Amino acid sequence: MVLSSVLGFPRIGAQRELKKITEAYWGGKATADELIQTGKDLRAHNWKLQKDAGVDIIASNDFSFYDHVLDLSLLFNVIPERYSKYSLPAIDTLFAMGRGLQRAATETSPAVDVPALEMVKWFDSNYHYVRPTFSHSTEFKLNGQKPVDEYLEAKELGIETRPVLVGPISYLFLGKADKDSLDLDLITLLPKLLPVYAEILAKLAAAGAQSVQIDEPVLVLDLPEEFKAAFKTAYEFFAAQSGLPKLLIASYFGDARPNIDAIKGLPVAGFHYDFVRVPEQLDAAVEALTEEQVLSVGVVDGRNIWKTDFAKAIEFVESAKAKVGADRVIVATSSSLLHTPVDLDNEKKLDPVIKDWFSFATQKVTEVVIIAKAVTDGPESVADALAANKKSIEARAVSEITVDPKVRERLASVTEADSQRKAPFPERLAAQKSLNLPLFPTTTIGSFPQTKEIRINRNKFTKGEITAEEYEKFIEKEIQEVVKFQEEIGLDVLVHGEPERNDMVQYFGERLKGFAFTSNGWVQSYGSRYVRPPIIVGDVSRPAPMTVKESQYAQSLTDKPMKGMLTGPVTILRWSFPRNDISAKDQSLQLALALRDEVNDLEKANVKVIQVDEPAIREGLPLREGKERDEYVQWAPLSFRLATSGVENGTQIHSHFCYSDLDPAHIKALDADVVSIEFSKKDDSKYIQEFSNYPNHIGLGLFDIHSPRVPPQDEFEGRINDILKVYPKENLWINPDCGLKTRKWDETKRQLTNMVNAAKIYRAKF
């Protein structure tokens, strides 16, 4: 028979239970025991849900209180000394590495002041992982046995699971050398790391685990030869140990074929591939198998919310079955379902027509089971489910909701001139002297703290408990306070603080035609930060101005430049659930044209500084070199320029990027006048040097907005000094890493005051 498998399930809870208890713990309103119990309850619910649905192979150790990669660092003692020296409880060490920790001394404990580790995007997703940070003094050893404990939890419930671990090659490749060990070649750590992996695998076997899923997602990247060779070293080492479980190596998010020779013939039980992304890799995957190895066939999309087309998926699995036999095929999700909302049944307000097109994590679990049953017992065994699915797929294909002829006509008429500013940057810079900016201009990225009062009033307005006029007056009051604060501390380019915005993508999606929205479609972005991605269901256009009123009002309150704040086309696309029936390029260009109208209207309203954020532009870069990447680096910058190039030379265009390994060439292609880049957790001058020849202006972020920590002023001065060693002072802006939405006001005021004062110190030196 063909088995069914889910590679991982969302950890957050259908009602965001994990967020609520975690933030309560951070705020001192919940105990560690209450936090741990909530985690246990969530795991039990998720395992039971999958077992009741009929899933054969259920993952364990897919749960985390913050990030599963960070969990592995804690498990393997990859804890830099700046954290371990405080001898914190394990859960507090985890959180300190993930978000930093700053607290005063008490009678029973010393003061703690430590920043967070670097956080970057998980491949091309909007999930952020905490980068493992190694040094010459890293001593690998087991700290606890989390994977074993969670396996045993499930076993006590009568549920057999397959534990999942990020594999040793991916773990090292995705890490970095600490600031005191920049000469460290990470692959040289493998011989020290493997025995610790083997130790936890042996403990899992002793607990009863028959098999373990080893995630090696770096197989879909362009790997150096030494990392390719390391697969043979690692998995032959495991095979030589006695008493370990069977291992299944899982890749996802892309094409593993260029690295398939590195895993061909490895002594493991089988392999998993993402055939949603790259169905063409089936023949190579089959050819690389031995006669005993199994093939896990990822045909249910773990990254998007569209229903699986059962007919196509079943046909694909039948093809795999014909090649290797039913007993060696597993029907699976393409990746963990971490990237999808929990349960479509929680959506009570969605248009039923559109809702019928969607499938969230709970529904995808059932899809996997249905496909496996159809292949094992024949289509007639699930005839009703197949008929309903076919009806839904066909209804979406012919729906008028998906096509807008006017949008397509406008896109077809776009010319090269539409994506070019009226003059090159030096001429624009001369025209922008009218902004009267000093050396080292200071600004923020856009958002200010979203207080409880803001959320309450937005909720009241949404429910009709206050009028539009009352809500508008409230928003104006919030803008007034934000503008007053910025002027008091001496910021040079101000923002209105975005109190009216629920999310930097959702807010725009709600004002554009072509989107659908959920009430509970939350997905983890990082830590306790969850988002509700909009869903692009049809061609996109802008019916009316979206931000002009608030920006114009904010500008009326000050003589200083006020930034209009927009989210860019690539980021709106990437941080939504995109369509799978037209190209990403066409969706991005449609969004660009809608934003172009908004940019032009902001300029007409006398807003002369306009920021169009593109933090997802690196995230969207195809994972491998080749035709797809070559095309992306053309149409992604084109989308940005199309959105921003309709303005006059004197209007200053900004953009912002964060939490990715950026390429200056890609940023240069946008031709923005000023860019701001997350920088506070970068450890070496090489990153500064990479941008030292950037021809326009740049701001390298000086503090981590994901952490409550307040850097002292001298720390800001030190970072500015380091930057000025390699970067021209005339081109440097001073700003935070990212928006301040998630911070509290007390932290924000002290962080920004220290930042501005540091800029003033350096301004006085020149």
612: CATH: 3.20.20.210
Q: Quote the tokens at residue 198.
A: 């083997």
- Predicted pLDDT at 685: 64
**Residue 481 annotated as binding?**
no
The reply to whether 376 falls in a domain is no
d(CA 445, CA 450): 14
Which stretch of DSSP H or E encloses residue 75?
helix 68-75
Tokens 């994990």 belong to which residue?
A: 18
Handedness of CA 382, 383, 384, 387 (dihedral sign): positive
The reply to whether 348 falls in a domain is no
**Residue 613 annotated as binding?**
yes
The reply to whether 393 falls in a domain is no
**CB half-sphere exposure, 244, CA atoms < 13 A:** 25
The reply to whether 303 falls in a domain is no
Q: Which domain holds residue 732?
A: 427-765
Q: Is 68 a catalytic residue?
A: no
d(CA 661, CA 221): 14
**End residue of a domain, out of 251, 271, 297:** 251
d(CA 37, CA 731): 52
Handedness of CA 217, 274, 363, 61 (dihedral sign): negative
**End residue of a domain, out of 208, 224, 251:** 251
The reply to whether 380 falls in a domain is no
The reply to whether 321 falls in a domain is no
Total domains, the chain? 2
Confirm if 295 and 271 have CB atoms less than 8 A apart.
Answer: yes
**Residue 146 annotated as binding?**
no
**Residue 620 annotated as binding?**
no
Average pLDDT per block of 10 residues along the chain, 766 residues long: 97 97 97 98 98 98 98 98 95 96 87 92 94 97 98 98 98 96 96 98 98 98 97 98 97 97 98 98 97 97 98 98 96 98 96 97 98 97 98 96 96 93 96 96 94 93 93 96 97 96 91 96 96 96 96 97 96 96 97 98 97 91 92 95 97 87 81 91 70 86 87 94 90 93 93 96 93
d(CA 364, CA 358): 10
- Predicted pLDDT at 152: 98
- Predicted pLDDT at 189: 98
**Residue 445 annotated as binding?**
yes
d(CA 581, CA 395): 13
Buried b / exposed e across 92-126, counting CB within 10 Å, b at 16+? bbbbbbbbbbbeeeeeeeeebebbbbbbbbbbbbb
- Predicted pLDDT at 706: 80
**Residue 330 annotated as binding?**
no
- Predicted pLDDT at 661: 67
Q: Quote the tokens at residue 588.
A: 């991005």
d(CA 306, CA 272): 22
**Residue 635 annotated as binding?**
no
**Residue 729 annotated as binding?**
no
The reply to whether 238 falls in a domain is no
The reply to whether 611 falls in a domain is yes
**Residue 754 annotated as binding?**
no
Contacts of 107 by beta carbon, 8 Å cutoff, 6+ apart: none
**End residue of a domain, out of 251, 277, 298:** 251
**Residue 135 annotated as binding?**
no
User: In Å, what is the CA distance from 511 to each residue of 522, 534, 549, 616, 629?
Assistant: 20, 11, 14, 20, 31
Question: Catalytic pick from 68, 339, 654, 706?
Answer: 706
Tokens 């309450």 belong to which residue?
A: 456
